Amino acid sequence: MKILKNSFVVVSTLVIALSSSAFAAGDVARGQEIAAGVCAGCHNPDGNSIIPINPSLAGQHAEYIIKQLMDFKAKEGEKPNRNSPVMASMVAPLSQQDMEDVAAFYAAQTPEPAGNISSDEDLLEMGRIMYHGGNIENGVPACASCHGPTGTGIPPHYPALAAQHAEYTYTQLDLFNKAERGNDNGVMQKVLTRMSGAEKRAVAEYIQSMDVQ
């Protein structure tokens, strides 16, 4: 709620902070060892996942990755809630330092454009309008206001989305909507309550079609 209210102000100041982002840097080489040993099978060695249900991590902000890993680690029933049996078992053995290192590794990888882009032009256009303009009638804010016009996100709070697998994105939107993912302070849940299923599908396909920067 707090993030939602302030986001439009915060966005512009964070963009300036971005260039000089001085977040505690993890050890990329150590992170690569962890990623190669445990994570690569599902997220691909360079973090550009080729399996649509597994998110791409390449180029994602380190702060966001660390937060997600900590949220997966939090015990069930504890806030914040991001429950994934798969990821919970992956993060269980990781120390805070391990998480920072592996996040630094993925953040340093180059994101690749997605394959398998929808050929449904009308659907992509509907998604494009939602992403950049929202839906004024229903009070849905533009995704671009928090995730950036090119989908690069705004660290530390707003993840990059560009070229993410549509299937993963749609699943997350659905989870937020049903409050089964609740680690967003209610921000995404509020965004989604007024979106139709078709709009969620369209925006997920549009996001997959976005160029990476």
Any binding-site annotation on 42?
Answer: yes
Q: How many CA atoms lie within 13 A of 176 on its CB side?
A: 21
User: Is the CB of 118 or the CB of 145 nearer to ligand HEC?
Assistant: 145
- Candidates 27, 54, 156, 186; binder of ligand HEC (CB under 6 A) is 54
Decide if 148 contacts 10 (C-beta within 8 A).
no
**Near ligand HEC by CB under 6 A, which window of 15-23, 107-115, 117-125, 167-175?**
167-175
Any binding-site annotation on 157?
Answer: no
DSSP string, 97-139: HHHHHHHHHHHTSPP---SS----HHHHHHHHHHHHH-BTTTT
Within a 10 A sphere around the Cβ of 197, how many other Cβ atoms? 11
Cβ-count burial 69-99 (b if 16+ within 10 Å, e if not): bbbbbbeeeeeebbbeeebeebbeebeeebb
- Candidates 152, 169, 208, 209; binder of ligand HEC (CB under 6 A) is 169
Any binding-site annotation on 195?
Answer: no
User: Is the CB of 130 or the CB of 212 nearer to ligand HEC?
Assistant: 130
Q: Residue 36 carries which DSSP code?
A: I
Residue 138, token pair as written in the block: 């229903």
Within a 10 A sphere around the Cβ of 28, how many other Cβ atoms? 18
**Contact call for residue 201 and ligand HEC (CB under 6 A):** no
Find the angle CA(183)-CA(11)-CA(172) to the nearest 5 degrees.
30
Please report, as residue ranges, which positions from 76 to 95 form the binding site for ligand HEC (by CB under 6 A).
84, 86-87, 90
- Candidates 62, 163, 191, 202; binder of ligand HEC (CB under 6 A) is 191
Total residues at interface with ligand HEC (CB under 6 A): 42
The residues of the shown chain that bind ligand HEC, judged by CB under 6 A, are 3-4, 7, 34, 38-39, 41-43, 53-55, 57, 65, 67-69, 84, 86-87, 90, 102, 130, 140-141, 143, 145-147, 157-159, 161, 169, 172-173, 183-184, 187-188, 191, 203
Annotated binding site: 39, 42-43, 87, 143, 146-147, 188
